[in-house]
A and B are shown apart, each in its own frame.
Chain A
């Protein structure tokens, strides 16, 4: 315990900017020397994709090499750079503090994106993981609005996602591609990237309209019955798509143009987090919490419970639809089987693992379940024993999830950490 505390104290003066700089150094080291020197001399066949997790599980003999790689490329540079540059980065952070908060946040996000882009740029597999993880973040944060802030147990998120995915896919296929079923492109394909946001919004809107099927019964009932209604909704959407042969039925639908490169998804994810954060910290979010905790009291406090519930559902469903649209254009193929019980279990696992009523928790949950799922891939079936076990333990020891009931404090996150010298002494 003592070591951990000492360690924490040692790095408590590093601002967010310093960590970014450290990670940037690590990524640059990997980018320039990772393949030619480091992995070559450590006897690794190529750059370990996910911090060496895959190669360690596949070939146990490579464990020392992969660990050494992690140490040389990631751990030592990040820690050293973060610590050594902390005087300068603190000055930088102090400078940024003078700017408006939104500008400072945007600059940090640009920095974060640059790091992510460099890291993912090493190979396509990483790009795909990062894309899917970002989409999962949208899904998890949006289901947290319904299941966490609103306190329902909604199982219909895969259904909303399917609606968004199919509507946006149909739009892009009709408008921008020469498809076998939908005929030639109505608009020049060069316009596609510019119209893609509109397409996504329409997909999200379709999901939001669909969510009324769940939101309206929620006026009269809560809890388990609503869970069933939402579950039935999910099955109905899946089954309806399977029976619509014009959009491919159970075979699925392919050929969407690849309109969702990494920056697009990153922008949508940050937009989603920003908007949902504003939503839940606004007076409306408080109204949601009130409806969750006591509906009758909320009603007597002049909160329109019906409107509140409906807005929460439509809002959550909208972002699920957007996530579905992005998902369809990342994989460029969708079928109804993708939006079924398995997806539901995954989404629920992410949100309850991360923590209810917390956007940070949702992000943590989405990232950890996704990365864990990818890292344990070489274990094949045993992966599906380890991940459920981890979830069970999290549920037993932290029933509300890892990080629940906390909000992002952007100002505190980005501020310079120089002034914090001793704890307990007020300045």
Chain B
């Protein structure tokens, strides 16, 4: 009986770790997927928007903690950090759209991919120049408390990450399904040629989509900073590419699919690392993705679109 409980606990513990890791991928890959749905283009700067969002969150958190510690209870500081960071980071998204994607509406799709990549490199280098190569560490926004439930260790940070990610996704779902703006986005992703004729401007909807994606990514950044406090200008690259892979795996343009694929990727990574040596993590994760895409080329919830490239 004892070993069975132990192994169940072990699996449960890993499920929680996987949920935490998957939350980051899910929230970031939603940003890719939303932009894809509206513009039929991938925002390759999204990983770096996430990174910039994390740095903005770091700045806001540091300032707020220095000024208001003791005056305001910590949850309020946390909430204020999230809200201000979301607001500021969404402007980064708008900037990327206006500078990198709007001039290329009629261009071949690969060109927009290149501008996105290049804006990402500019962000990385810009942060590196402004803040130097020293590693900054994200200030903890709350006291870490360890809970011990029947052999499983769970910190309040972990629980908060999982819960806030889920809440964000629910909020996004409500925004897309219930509001007028969300309806415009859905319409745009349904037919981006006819909808502009109905009085919905792509030049408003596209920046809005980028902004929402960037806002989500910046919250993911704050949460990431709570879990892994070391900041690094290149942190967005690996996480961003993986989230991009998740977005494709979920089916392009499908937000539900992106979220689920994000969690799936988290599960694959964590469980591969528990069974095999952790250096094999990427190898096995990407091999599984390659196999899935070979047999299900549209991903999980992919929309039926023309597969012809606009070259």
Contacts and interface: CB of A to CB of B under 8 A. Distances in A.
B125 A381 contact: yes
The range of chain B's interface size is: 35 or more
Contacts of B129: 381-382, 385
A236 B286 contact: yes
A: interface residue count bin: 35 or more
A356 B311 contact: yes
A383 to B, nearest CB: 8
Given A345-B117, A345-B121, A395-B107, A225 B282 contact: no
A220 interface: yes
Interface stretch (B4-12, B171-179, B197-205, B288-296): B288-296
B293 A222 contact: no
A400 interface: yes
Contacts of A384: 121-122, 124-125
A240 interface: yes
B149 to A, nearest CB: 35
B283 A239 contact: yes
Interface string B119-139: 101101110110000000000
B114 A389 contact: no
Contacts of A213: 290
Contacts of A242: 279
B299 interface: yes
B305 to A, nearest CB: 9
B84 interface: no
Contacts of A356: 108, 110, 311
B112 to A, nearest CB: 8
Given A147-B110, A232-B286, A381-B125, A388 B119 contact: yes
Contacts of B180: none
A228 B309 contact: no
A153 B309 contact: yes
A232 B122 contact: no
B17 interface: no
Contacts of B244: 228
Contact of A236 (B36, B115, B279, B290): B290
Contacts of B109: 153, 223
Interface in A304-352: 341, 345, 348-349, 352
Contact of A392 (B119, B124, B241, B309): B119
A221 B128 CA distance: 39
A395 to B, nearest CB: 4
Nearest to A217: B294
Contact of A151 (B36, B118, B252, B309): B309
B307 interface: yes
B39 interface: no
Contacts of A399: 104, 106-108, 111
Given A236-B283, A239-B283, 9 more contacts: A224-B248, A228-B248, A229-B293, A239-B282, A240-B283, A243-B279, A384-B124, A392-B100, A399-B107
6 contacts: A153-B113, A225-B248, A228-B289, A348-B117, A349-B114, A400-B108
Query: Which 9 pairs show the lowest CB-CB distances between chains A and B?
Result: A399-B107, A388-B118, A221-B297, A239-B283, A384-B125, A239-B282, A232-B286, A396-B103, A228-B248
